[in-house]
Amino acid sequence: MDFVKVEREGGVATLTIDRQDKLNAISPQLVEEIGQSLLEIESEGPRVIVVTGAGEKAFVAGADITAMSAMSPTEAKRFAEIGHAAMALLDKSPIPTIAAVNGFALGGGCEIALACDIRIAAENALFGFPEVGLGILPGMGGTQRLPRLVGPAVAKELIFSARRIDAAEAQEIGLVNRVVPQGEALSAALELADQIATNGPLAVRYAKAAANKALDTDLVNGLEYEADQFALLFSTEDSREGMGAFSEKRKPEFTGN
Ligand code: COA
């Protein structure tokens, strides 16, 4: 991998997008590296994945405009499809994902953050969708995930205007979960990841699947899915361990079985 670094500490895998001379802009090669890295990370079974950008200035300053300016419609479609596949590896991954947004999160950067389950932003982070100002539109899931997260009216305003918003406004509209001081997004994300990693890994995985289901289905089917996932966990050793530990007034030791 030229532009993606993966580190593993305990149950937490950190994927860093590292193309600092271009503010971590996403080229076709980079989006493939992100997808490939996520597949490898998932096969190693960490309990949480944290995604961040290298350096202090940018999380990801968008898709690579230089590369896109030379694309034919067919190449652009392929770029979008590869991007969608990579984002699905975050969104649909059984493992919870946290974006540590440490600076510019524009266009594709915002879309990577949106594909994660949770977003923690440094106070210098800037969010926005500049695409329409370039004569294109968000093509890595932004038109679909942003309305689901912040509602259609706010999403349309941001996408149609290409207005940049700071971390405080991003938190106000529900785009980010939490804002932390500059330089602390990654450490805050890792702290949260460690906290998630202490919980039953299967329980967290099934809870993620159930919460995702809420976005794809109606309440009746969503509740049925929840009941099935709830029941399934009662067949795991971890559920016996977790509830048993409560009765025995000790900390549970989860194995993921
Ligand atoms: N695609 C390609 N290259 C990019 C890029 C992108 N999305 N974002 C930044 N870069 C490159 C710049 O071209 C520059 O390269 P160079 O040194 O070879 O000229 C380098 O990264 C540094 O960026 P620069 O613009 O000099 O930094 P800045 O601090 O003046 O401005 C931004 C930062 C983020 C405001 C500005 O880079 C920008 O507007 N980027 C594009 C954002 C965008 O529209 N993203 C959505 C794309 S769909």
Percent of the chain at pLDDT above 70? 100
252 domain residue, yes or no? no
141 domain residue, yes or no? yes
In short, whether 22's Cβ falls inside 6 Å of ligand 1 is: yes
- Per the prediction, the chain carries an average pLDDT of 97
Crossing angle of the two packed helices 142-150 and 108-115, in degrees rounded to 10: 60
Which tokens sit at 36? 């490939």
Atom of ligand 1 minimally distant from the CA of 139: 48
Same-domain pairing of 87 and 118: yes
Same-domain pairing of 109 and 234: no
CA dist., res. 257 & res. 247, Å (int): 20
Answering whether pTM is above 0.85, one says yes
Same-domain pairing of 206 and 171: no
State the average pLDDT over residues 67-73: 97
The yes-or-no answer on residue 56 being catalytic is no
**Structural domains counted in the chain:** 2
254 domain residue, yes or no? no
227 domain residue, yes or no? yes
In short, whether 65's Cβ falls inside 6 Å of ligand 1 is: yes
CA dist., res. 205 & res. 117, Å (int): 12
Cα 23 to ligand 1 centre (Å) = 6
Decide: helix, strand or coil at residue 165. strand
Q: What is the pLDDT of residues 32-45, one digit of tens each?
A: 999 999 999 999 99
pLDDT on residue 107 = 98
State the average pLDDT over residues 53-74: 97
Considering 197, 214, 230, which residue would you say is the last residue of a domain? Answer: 197
Same-domain pairing of 97 and 148: yes
Same-domain pairing of 100 and 226: no
Q: CATH no. for residue 96?
A: 3.90.226.10
255 domain residue, yes or no? no
Residues 120 and 68 sit within 8 Å (Cβ to Cβ): no
State the average pLDDT over residues 144-172: 98
pLDDT on residue 16 = 98
Output phi, psi for 127, to 5 deg: -115, 150
State the average pLDDT over residues 118-145: 98
The yes-or-no answer on residue 111 being catalytic is yes
Same-domain pairing of 64 and 188: yes
In short, whether 69's Cβ falls inside 6 Å of ligand 1 is: no
Q: CATH no. for residue 212?
A: 1.10.12.10
State the average pLDDT over residues 118-129: 98
The domain in which residue 228 lies consists of 201-247
Same-domain pairing of 101 and 205: no
Q: What is the pLDDT of residues 171-196, one digit of tens each?
A: 999 999 999 999 999 999 999 999 99
Same-domain pairing of 25 and 37: yes
Distances (CA, A) of 50 to 78, 114, 171, 190: 26, 13, 19, 7
In short, whether 106's Cβ falls inside 6 Å of ligand 1 is: yes
CA dist., res. 117 & res. 2, Å (int): 26
Task: Using alpha carbons, select from 13, 22, 75 the residue that is nearest to residue 2.
Answer: 22
Same-domain pairing of 127 and 215: no
Pocket test for ligand 1, best of 20, 23, 65, 136 (most atoms within 8 A of CB): 23
| Set 40, 75, 123, 131: catalytic member | 131
Same-domain pairing of 141 and 36: yes
State the average pLDDT over residues 18-26: 98
pLDDT on residue 159 = 98
Same-domain pairing of 177 and 223: no
| Set 111, 123, 157, 184: catalytic member | 111
pLDDT on residue 211 = 97
46 domain residue, yes or no? yes
Angle CA 87–91–92, to nearest 5: 110
Same-domain pairing of 39 and 128: yes
Confidence bin at 240 (pLDDT 50/70/90): very high
109, burial (CB in 10 Å: exposed 0-12, middle 13-18, buried 19+)? buried
Q: What is the pLDDT of residues 205-237, one digit of tens each?
A: 999 999 999 999 999 999 999 999 999 999 999
